[in-house]
Every structure is written in structure tokens, then in C-alpha cells.
Amino acid sequence: MKRLIENYLLEFDGIKEKLPIQRIKAERWRPPETLHVKVNSNAAYNQQNKELCSGIVIRNEEGRILKAKLVEIEGDALSVIKKLQNDFED
């Protein structure tokens, strides 16, 4: 897991130019098959406030929300990188 995150951060740091805006067609939510659940997730980064959050919603075939969770990830990039470079666990 540590290696995966390190590789992701290296790849992210390698992006030097602003990516073009892509127009994505909005798709209506469709329920899963009977006796199944559907898991939707999303993440957002607020560059001005330097905040990252991620959310997840689990729904049944009726569209009823079974579980939802929002996680705010705090910490500056330097502290995250130092934690990743440290071989010791908390």
C-alpha cells in the first residue's frame, strides 16, 4: 500500500501543465439488480483551502441509502510525504 501511494504521489508531482477540461455527460443513477447493492464514490479537492474529501454511498435496488460516509483528509503535502518515506508504523 505504501508503494502504491508513493507511486501515485510521484505521478501526481510529474504533472506540470494544467489538464484540459473534459466535458462528461451526466448519467442518471440506475439501481442495481435485485439482491445487490451499488457503491458510488467520489473525491474532491479544494485548491484554495487545500482540503481533500472523499465520499461513498451504498444503495439497494430500491435506491434506499444503506450507508453513506464522508471523509476529510487533512495534512499538508510535506507531512504526508514524510510519513510515506518513514519505514516505521505509528
pLDDT in tens, 49-70: 777 888 999 999 999 999 999 8
Strands 38-46 and 65-73: unpaired
pLDDT tops 80 at residue 1: no
> For 1-90, where are the E strands, in sequence order?
38-46, 51-59, 65-73
Cell of 67: 450507508
Q: Is the pLDDT of residue 17 over 80?
A: no
Q: What is the pLDDT of residue 16?
A: 47
pLDDT digits (tens, 9 = 90+) for 68-85: 998 887 766 667 667 667
- β-bridge mates for residue 67, sequence order: 58
What does the alpha-carbon distance between residue 8 and residue 82 come to, in Å, rounded to a whole number?
Answer: 15
What's the confidence (pLDDT) of residue 20? 61
CA distances from 49 to 10, 46, 74, 82 (A): 22, 6, 11, 21
More confident residue, 44 or 80: 44
